[in-house]
């Protein structure tokens, strides 16, 4: 549980947060009672939620290693959530110590804990920002101090775009990113869908989140592919995350990827 002494002045403890709900499903402690209540209702509807969350973290680690192997030394994590083991900077800087990392999240708890974890690491930082306001994020001085958009960047937007409604135009958000990135840059996404095994439960989870003021838009394969317009997908394309370049038979859902109820992909900007 997070320290209520500092958080009470900065965070509405009656309003759940997607970042803190996700933290709870991963077994983290940086969440409030309101987050845990919503998370438990979702897990009741979709018992696979904790293992889906772990599968997404495994996908993140594989993507970051892929970026590093491709020569990427700048990493930009949008909707990064609350720090947990195997974060982008840990994986990237293990592969290449000179790697620079910027985390962005709308949740102040996520940002504060990220900054605490990054204390003493001058190659990484965290800022508070909403992906809907991508123009402001791209011009933020802290972002610009670490990320040189004239050089290739590895961008991650994992489990965040389904919080963007159709009216908020996720395709336009990603297109603005595309315009800011130079050739040789990469974008990785994962996105909730009803194409997996538990369609009914996923819809129930959507209703539970909606009742808690967190709206999601599950999208099908064609809709997610449209969001990625402009990026050439690397093999194996848009797939359930456990199917994306698996490297360990022990990874979450590696033997039953359709249970992930998300689709993931990595695209390169030419």
In this model, does residue 2 exceed pLDDT 60? no
Where b means 16+ CB within 10 Å and e means fewer, 33-67 reads: ebbbebbebbbebbebbbbbbbbbbbbbbbbbbbb
Distance CA 255, CA 22 (A): 23
Q: Transcribe 198-252 into DSSP letters.
A: -HHHHHHHHHHHHHTT-------HHHHHHHTTTSEEPTT-SB-GGGSS---TTST
The pLDDT assigned to 9 comes to: 46
How far is the CA of 117 from the CAs of 7, 41, 89, 120, 137, in angstroms?
A: 17, 30, 10, 9, 21
In this model, does residue 80 exceed pLDDT 50? yes
What pLDDT, in 10s, does the model give residues 205-236?
Answer: 999 999 989 999 999 999 999 999 999 999 99
Are the C-beta atoms of 128 and 111 separated by less than 8 Å? Answer: yes
Residues 6+ apart with CB under 8 A from 90: none
Closest CA to 228 of 189, 196, 184, 195: 189
pLDDT band for 1, please (50, 70, 90 cuts).
Answer: very low
Helix axes 49-69, 88-95, angle to 10 degrees: 30
As a whole-number percent, the residues of the chain with pLDDT over 90 amount to 85
Are the C-beta atoms of 196 and 247 separated by less than 8 Å? Answer: no
**Is the backbone of residue 120 left (phi > 0), alpha (psi -120 to 50) or beta?**
left
Range 54-58 average pLDDT: 96
The pLDDT assigned to 14 comes to: 87
pLDDT band for 83, please (50, 70, 90 cuts).
Answer: confident
In this model, does residue 116 exceed pLDDT 50? yes
The pLDDT assigned to 121 comes to: 96
What pLDDT, in 10s, does the model give residues 157-208?
Answer: 999 999 999 999 999 999 999 999 999 999 999 999 988 777 788 889 999 9
Q: Transcribe 27-38 into DSSP letters.
A: T-S---HHHHHH
No. of helices (H) and no. of strands (E), the chain: 11, 7
Residue 85 has a CB neighbour count (10 Å cut-off) of: 10
pLDDT band for 79, please (50, 70, 90 cuts).
Answer: very high
Distance CA 11, CA 108 (A): 7
In this model, does residue 55 exceed pLDDT 50? yes
Distance CA 163, CA 159 (A): 8
Q: Where are the domains of the chain?
A: 52-197+220-268
The mean of the pLDDT values for the chain is 93
Architecture in CATH for domain 52-197+220-268:
3-Layer(aba) Sandwich (3.40)
The pLDDT assigned to 13 comes to: 81
Range 71-89 average pLDDT: 93
Range 55-59 average pLDDT: 96
How far is the CA of 223 from the CAs of 7, 155, 202, 229, in angstroms?
A: 38, 20, 17, 10
The pLDDT assigned to 10 comes to: 66
């Amino acid at each position: 549980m997070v320290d209520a002494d500092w958080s009470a002045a900065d965070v509405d403890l009656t309003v759940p947060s997607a970042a803190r709900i996700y933290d709870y499903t991963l077994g983290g402690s940086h969440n409030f009672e309101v987050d845990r209540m919503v998370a438990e209702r979702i897990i009741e509807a979709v018992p696979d939620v904790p293992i889906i969350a772990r599968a997404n973290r495994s996908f993140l680690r594989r993507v970051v290693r892929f970026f590093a192997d491709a020569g990427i030394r700048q990493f930009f994590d949008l909707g990064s959530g609350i720090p947990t083991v195997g974060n982008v900077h840990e994986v990237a800087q293990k592969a290449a110590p000179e790697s620079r990392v910027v985390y962005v999240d709308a949740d102040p708890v996520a940002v504060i804990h990220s900054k605490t974890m990054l204390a003493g690491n001058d190659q990484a930082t965290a800022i508070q920002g909403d992906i809907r306001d991508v123009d402001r994020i791209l011009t933020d001085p802290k972002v610009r101090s670490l990320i040189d958009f004239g050089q290739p960047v590895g961008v991650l937007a994992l489990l965040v775009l389904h919080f963007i409604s159709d009216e908020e135009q996720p395709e336009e958000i990603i297109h603005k990113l595309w315009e800011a990135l130079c050739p040789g840059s990469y974008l990785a996404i994962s996105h909730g869908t009803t194409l997996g095994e538990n369609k009914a439960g996923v819809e129930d989870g959507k209703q539970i989140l909606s009742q808690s003021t967190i709206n999601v838009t599950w999208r099908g394969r064609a809709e997610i592919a449209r969001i990625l317009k402009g990026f050439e997908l690397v093999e194996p394309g848009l797939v359930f995350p456990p199917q994306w370049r698996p490297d360990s038979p022990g990874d979450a859902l590696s033997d039953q990827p359709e249970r992930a109820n998300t689709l993931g992909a990595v695209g390169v900007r030419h």
